[in-house]
């Protein structure tokens, strides 16, 4: 026997997109329930990106979770691109008339949102199993799942699918009702987290003949570094010393001496892919975040794209319930996809310029070099890159 519950919006997934949506809806007086298949500890321990666009920061402020972000986040007014031994700094403030980004880990964003939801005592079901989304083409969709050996059925007006690439929501849409576009890249990123000061105060994206690298950070004392690797790389063969030696060899000589080594506290390999599902709506269910799209991490658009989805979706729900208008709900997929495809283009372009592709010809390599040279000598090209990096308007 299912225990019957009712809500206005059932949110599948307790990652940052699901929690942010829940917080914004609650602030507007809209009932919502969050259902998550993983444990709360697992969700809060996931290591993810950490460069936030100003639009994302504004949305977190609106949700009432910006205090710690503003205390601990690192405001970055620029970043570097290194190409072999050439070096270019992009001055974001100058190129975008005062805009910047903030470095603040996705893990911290999720923690802030989780604590805010708990403080409001909003209903959440972690470790929910056998999750199903049903009756999506009716006015009364429902979510069924098992939690602590009790079967539940939640009737809702709408379902928000914020459950990631491998979640149940997109998988529940009939194949004839959705299109999927994908590009899988022939490499991955080997990343480590270490309690060491960053090699410099701003990020460095680097192209080296041996492969891409990224020098990032989570705080003034915690660094996040990445190296391009093969998709089938054996992480067991990468000792900390091997990682540091390889990274130092790829860094420009003017910076390599600043590298501080230390034991890794996390080490993982992330594959790279571009993916978009269209449309982002099926009946009364809406997809947001990784459930609807994936970008390569080059350029840090993943979390920011999820936030822009939630901007459109939360405003649509608020307009529906508060202003009794449906136009934004009907336009959600189209609006969100316009921004998604622009971010996909930017991430694809930056990935192509900075990575070593095993199938690239000598001609392709010269084009890569020409792309960087053009960027170095064209303020308009720099402005275009900066505009995309700080985030296109919603």
Preceding omega of 279 cis (within 30 degrees of 0): yes
Question: Do the Cβ atoms of 251 and 155 come closer than 8 Å?
Answer: no
Q: Which of 76, 208, 293, 335 is catalytic?
A: 76
Q: Which of 301, 311, 320, 335 is catalytic?
A: 301
Torsion of CA 71, 77, 82, 85, to 10 degrees: -110
- Retrieve residue 203's tokens: 């990020």
- Retrieve residue 137's tokens: 């083409």
Q: Across the strands, what pairs with 150?
A: 147
Torsion of CA 59, 63, 68, 70, to 10 degrees: 30
Q: Which of 152, 185, 205, 312 is catalytic?
A: 205
275-299 burial, b for 16+ CB within 10 Å, e for fewer?
Answer: bbbbbbbbbbbbbbbbbbbbbbbbb
What is the side-by-side strand order in the sheet with 124-125?
124-125, 32-35, 9-12, 158-161, 285-287, 281-282
Q: Phi, psi (5° rounding) for residue 107?
A: -60, -40
Catalytic site residue 389?
yes
Decide: helix, strand or coil at residue 331: helix
Q: Which of 16, 141, 296, 297 is catalytic?
A: 297
Rounded Cα gap, residues 247 and 236, in angstroms: 17
**Strand ranges (E), 68-178:** 74-76, 78-83, 86-91, 101-103, 124-125, 129-134, 142-147, 150-155, 158-161
Catalytic site residue 85?
no
Question: Do the Cβ atoms of 155 and 297 come closer than 8 Å?
Answer: no
Intra-chain end-to-end CA distance of the chain, in Å = 45
Catalytic site residue 205?
yes
Decide: helix, strand or coil at residue 357: coil
Rounded Cα gap, residues 332 and 334, in angstroms: 6
Catalytic center residues: 76, 205, 297, 301, 389
């Amino acid at each position: 026997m299912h225990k019957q519950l009712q809500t206005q919006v059932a949110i599948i997934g307790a990652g940052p997109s699901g929690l942010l949506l829940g917080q914004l809806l609650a602030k507007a007086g809209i009932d919502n329930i969050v259902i998550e298949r993983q444990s709360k500890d697992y969700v809060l321990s996931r290591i993810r990106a950490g460069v936030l666009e100003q639009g994302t920061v504004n949305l977190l402020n609106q949700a009432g979770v910006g205090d710690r972000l503003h205390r601990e986040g690192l405001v970055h007014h620029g970043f570097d691109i290194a190409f072999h031994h050439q070096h270019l700094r992009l001055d974001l403030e100058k190129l975008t008339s005062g805009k910047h980004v903030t470095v603040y880990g996705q893990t911290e964003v999720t923690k802030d949102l989780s604590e805010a939801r708990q403080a409001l005592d909003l209903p959440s079901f972690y470790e929910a199993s056998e999750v199903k989304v049903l009756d999506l083409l009716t006015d009364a969709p429902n979510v069924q799942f098992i939690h602590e050996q009790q079967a539940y059925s939640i009737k809702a007006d709408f379902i928000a699918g914020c459950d990631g690439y491998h979640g149940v929501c997109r998988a529940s849409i009939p194949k004839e009702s959705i299109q999927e576009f994908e590009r899988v890249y022939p490499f991955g990123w080997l990343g480590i987290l270490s309690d060491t000061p960053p090699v410099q105060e701003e990020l460095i994206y680097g192209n080296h003949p041996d492969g891409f690298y990224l020098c990032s950070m989570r705080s003034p004392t915690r660094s996040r570094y990445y190296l391009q690797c093969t998709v089938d790389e054996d992480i067991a063969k990468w000792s900390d010393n091997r990682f540091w030696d390889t990274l130092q060899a790829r860094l420009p000589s003017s910076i390599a001496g600043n590298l501080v080594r230390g034991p890794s506290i996390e080490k993982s390999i992330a594959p790279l892919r571009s993916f978009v599902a269209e449309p982002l709506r099926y009946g009364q269910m809406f997809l947001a975040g990784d459930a609807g799209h994936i970008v390569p991490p080059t350029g840090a658009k993943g979390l920011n794209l999820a936030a822009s989805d939630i901007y459109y979706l939360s405003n649509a729900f608020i307009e529906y319930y508060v202003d009794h208008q449906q136009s934004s709900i009907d336009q959600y997929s189209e609006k969100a996809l316009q921004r998604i495809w622009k971010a996909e283009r930017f991430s694809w372009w930056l990935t192509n310029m900075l990575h070593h592709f095993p199938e690239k010809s000598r001609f392709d390599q010269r084009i890569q070099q020409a792309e960087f040279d053009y960027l170095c000598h064209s303020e308009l090209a720099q402005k275009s890159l900066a505009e995309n990096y700080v985030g296109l308007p919603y």
